[in-house]
Every structure is written in structure tokens, then in C-alpha cells.
Structure 1
């Protein structure tokens, strides 16, 4: 039996470097030698022992790039191609899938959550989940196509118009990428709130107005910055009761709220205020295949530069250290494990 090294989630707050059996391919799969894999907020949920589907031992990692080492089946790809993985796995038979909306499949699964992912030397990936990395886009940057695709999908789900004022509640990687995408779409003022000075500093570097939620009244500041009107579009990306309350307060009359967070606990939302302000509420999940392709193109052309997001690059042997760093938002943004 051939084995490979893998960074394994073992139990709550316990990840170690271990071994797994090297994948053998089913028909229609490719064997990917992983180059780079990033830690996502969902990985942190698994690490905390709070994900309902992830089962230990698991090689997490659904944001990853690599090189095709083996192909089982007919494909337009070739051995040696550099690829980035779109990690969603749809059933293909539910109503959503039949209508082409595979990203909201009734039984959607993800590589790195429901099966071993990119925190390993190799991963078996369906051929239809591969995207070619363009020349000029590095493997490290390509590994972040997945979170960029989330931001693409989120902004496309909104009603954002040129000149709109935007508030983003939560300045983590997804929140900041949404800010960059909103900027691409023509937003006028982009206001980001968070409690991490490090991440607020990044927001300022991107040209956003940064609000320290520990130091100021976010609602009052937003109203002041928008002449008492409020935001045209509010993106909620923090997933807390505080931001669930703020998203209604900072929205203008007939504004739009886009909820990106996956809430761990059901929040209380002031529906009466939403009613009187006639606010629209939109939710968003994952991304479509076209969103993923658009993310790659935006990175390839330099319209979206993900380099400022990469706070650390570590060997997989330091997986435990990587997760400890990721627990501290004052020192980390996006951590990549490098395997080449």
C-alpha cells in the first residue's frame, strides 16, 4: 500500500502531520500533486470541532492548486498541467442540479470536508472540478481562486450599482475580497468594520474606510459617513449577533442586505425595522462554475491581486503552527501550506 504524508484533523484543536493511503483513481478522476493549500474559515470550524459533517481523521483543505500526475478517463487536460480545484461536489439529480444551479445542490458536499482534500501530498479530484491555471498566474495565487470566487458570486448576487455606498461587516479574507470586488463593480465608498487592528490596517491599504468596532459605534459612524442615509448595500460577513443587529441599522431605506456568513447560532433579526425601511434581504452560498472562471480571469489580468492576503507560507509539516496562527486575527489573514 502506497502512503503519503497528510495534515490530519484528529480531534478538537488537534491537527498533526501523519499519513494516509495515497489515493487510487476512479473513472473520471485525476490525481493531483498538491502545490499550495490555504486555510479557510470552514477549516477553522472543523478544527474547533463544530462542523456537522467533517469526520476525523480528515485531510482538510478545499482551497488548493497542484499538478496533474495521473488521469483516469478521457479529458482535455494532460499530465503535467497546472490546475486549481473547484471543490464543490453536486449530486446532479436534485431540482437545483437539474436547473443548472449545482452550487445549491440539496446534498452539496466539498472536497476537504466530506472527503480528503488539499492538506496532503496528493488528492483525487473529479476531472470536471479542475480549472487550468493560466500562464503568468502563480500556483500560490491560484490556490486562492476559491475565496475570490466566493466574493465574485456574492457581489453578483447583490444589486450593487456604480456609485453605491457599501458597508462590509467583517474584515476577514472574504470580507476584504468582497470589498475589492465591490470596488471593481464601481462602489463609491466602501466601509469595513472589524475588531482586529491588523485586518483593519489591510482594509485601509485597500483604500477602504476602516471602523474599529471595539472603539466606535459602527451604526453611528456609518450614518455619519453617509449623511444620515445609510448604506445602499450591506454585506454581513462576521456571523455574530452584533453584526446581525448592525446590518439592519446601517442599511438605508430600501437598501439591500447580503448575508454571506454561515451562522453557528440562529440570530435575532429586527424584522419590524426591516419592514418599515423596506429592506431587501439576500443570502449567498459558494459560487457557480462561471464565478470560479471569472475569479481566475480577474487574478490572471491583475484586476484582483491576492498577494496582500497571504500572511504566511508554511510547509505542511507546520500544520499545527499554521492553525494556531490562524486563530489569531491580529497576525494572520490567509495561510498557505506549500508542498513543492
Structure 2
């Protein structure tokens, strides 16, 4: 099928400023693949950049959670791809050469950010009709998988990275703090873990959603002391694992207090404003052997696991799908994504 000579893409030029431009359709270079974007999810990172909370260097080509169809394949791509293949995209780039990549920590690659030229739009570019990506960034998925679910392979891979590092044992108590999209994906990933899974969330609609998706218990931290609630649910032991899926410093402090002996606290969500500090008694780590760690993005194995889980329906993503908008309605999509009763909103640049 012939392709157009130009395509439309969106550019975030500043806080709450979006422009649409018509640009030439590129040819894939060596080891590159041209994709026709099927669906792109509005991540909280793009929402922060759009709202001005995260001061990214504008102009930004947003959209790092997306799926698409293969259009053209550059020389040297090692995967057995063909035009029409449906793929999910790992938005982060990896150099494969730095110390972190060579140790297998490619989620911590020293060179993951693309070179930026001042004033020129750059970024993952899923918020457009077409996108040019490196061959190693794409993962094929079966045609039975909906493009919305395939686009969520990226955030699911991030969650699996966290859960695999801090997997509760059967009979443990795992607490997820925050029932936004990432908290609910943690809940879905822990569904068959054998642990008692608790969700802490002040918003009643989101607490109800967590119950609907299988949480064994919920905590309302606006009416109940979090630490006391966790101890009540664990016969005084505290939580074996706590996943912090909301960027509030005080939550981390409370989680450390609520940790069981040899318990783990994983800071999954980034904290804003940056540079914020927390106050912790270091003796907690000494006397209880509590582990405080972070979790960033995903590595290539996590992405494979996410695509497999979606393809074989071992993790159900349908409860977090919250509607879609055409590309020209990106501003409306951002407004919808910011509502507390939505989880993942999608763009469909080419229709579905």
C-alpha cells in the first residue's frame, strides 16, 4: 500500500500549548522502522509536561506509550519483520554500550535521552500519525490484541520491573499506595501472587475501582492513620512489601514506619517538586532490616514479559482503558486524562 508524502504530528510547545504540523514522511535509516501509529496513551509524564509541572525543554514530541503497524523497514534490522506487523514500542532508547547497559540495567542507560537541538521538536513522537523508531524498540504482538492494550505494554513493563524486584511471597501482605493507573497495574500484576494485596487511596471512586479489580482490602488515608491501618491488617507485623505509586514525600515516611521486619518499600513514582527530602530515623533500617529502594522504567526483559502477559491475557488491562480521542482533539484528551475517574486515555491518530 502506498504511503503519503507527509503526515501530521502534534508538538507541545509550552505549558498548555499544542501545535499541529504537517511534515515530510521520513524513510527509515539503517536499523530503523517506520510505524503507522495505531494508539498512543497519555502518560502522567506527558500530562506533567503539558501542564508545566515538569519543566521539560520544549518543544516536545510526546507519546512514549504507543502501538502501531510496521510500514517500512530499514537495512540491518535484525527482527523478522514485515509490513503490516503489529508492534508495541518501548519508548526509552538504550545505547547498549554504557556500563549500565552492559550489566543488564538498560533501564538506567547513561544515554537514553535523544540528542536535542535547541528549538527543534524532539521526543518519542507517538502523538502523531507516523513514528520512526529503532528496531530494538519494537515488540510484535498477535493481531487478536487490541492496540489500546498493546500501547500499555510500556507502563505494564515498568510495573513488572518493580514487582519482579520486590515480589511478595505467598502469605505476605503487599500494600499499593495510590490507585491511579500505575497503582491499579500493580494490583493487576499481583493478582495471582498469593499475597494479601491492600490498596491505600483517599479518592472513593478509585478505592471502589481497586475493590472491583481484586484488592483484598482498602485503606482510606484521609480518615484512618495509614501506619495503624497497615498494622491492623497484618496483626501488628507491618507490610512485607509497599509499592509507592504516588509522588508524595510524606507517604514514603509513613511506609517506612509501616514496614515489617525485612520489609521492602519501593518508590515507584517520582516525587515532585524535585529536590524534595524526607525525614527518616536511620535506626529503622538497622533494627528491622528494612529496604528502601526505587524503581525506574523497564528493561528489555520486562518489556518481553509485558507483551507476553498481554498476548496471553494473564493480566487484564481492560478495567483501566478510559476512552480515546482523534489526534486533533489532543487538548480534550489531556483534559479527560486529568480527571480522577479516568486511568488511561488514548489518541488514535489514524482512527481505529
The verdict on a shared fold, with TM-score over 0.5 as the criterion, is: yes
Task: State which of 318, 332, 337 in structure 2 corresponds to 1:307.
Answer: 318
Q: CA deviation at 1:14?
A: 2.4
Change (3 A) 1:16 1:199: farther
Task: State which of 101, 107, 113 in structure 2 corresponds to 1:109.
Answer: 113
Q: Deviations over 1:113-137 (max 9, x none)?
A: 9524210000001011111012321
- Match in the other structure for 2:118: none
Q: CA deviation at 1:234?
A: 0.7
Once the two structures are overlaid, the 10-residue window that deviates more, 96-105 or 140-149, is: 96-105
Q: Deviations over 1:190-234 (max 9, x none)?
A: 111123222222101012122222232222211111111111101
Q: CA deviation at 1:79?
A: 1.0
SS in 1 for 2:190: helix
Residues in 1 aligned to 2:37 and 2:124: alpha-carbon distance in whole angstroms? 12
Q: Superposed, which structure 2 residues align to 1:15-94 within 5 Å?
A: 15-51=18-54, 54-75=56-77, 76-94=80-98
Residues in 1 aligned to 2:204 and 2:334: alpha-carbon distance in whole angstroms? 20
Q: CA deviation at 1:24?
A: 3.6
Q: Does 1:178 align with 2:182?
A: no
Residues in 2 aligned to 1:304 and 1:253: alpha-carbon distance in whole angstroms? 30
Q: TM-score, normalised by structure 2?
A: 0.89
- Match in the other structure for 1:232: 240
Once the two structures are overlaid, the 10-residue window that deviates more, 274-283 or 150-159, is: 274-283
Structure 1: gaps (5+ residues): none
Aligned residue pairs total 336
- Match in the other structure for 1:269: 279
Q: CA deviation at 1:69?
A: 0.9
Q: Does 1:256 align with 2:269?
A: no
- RMSD over equivalenced CA pairs, Å: 2.1
Q: CA deviation at 1:108?
A: 2.0
Note if contact 2:86-2:143 (Cα within 8 Å) is conserved in structure 1. Answer: no
Residues in 1 aligned to 2:342 and 2:26: alpha-carbon distance in whole angstroms? 32
SS in 2 for 1:125: strand
- Match in the other structure for 1:98: 102
Note if contact 2:187-2:214 (Cα within 8 Å) is conserved in structure 1. Answer: no
SS in 1 for 2:128: coil
Residues in 1 aligned to 2:36 and 2:141: alpha-carbon distance in whole angstroms? 14
- Match in the other structure for 2:333: 322
Once the two structures are overlaid, the 10-residue window that deviates more, 139-148 or 54-63, is: 54-63
Note if contact 1:159-1:256 (Cα within 8 Å) is conserved in structure 2. Answer: no
Residues in 1 aligned to 2:268 and 2:342: alpha-carbon distance in whole angstroms? 21
Q: TM-score, normalised by structure 1?
A: 0.92
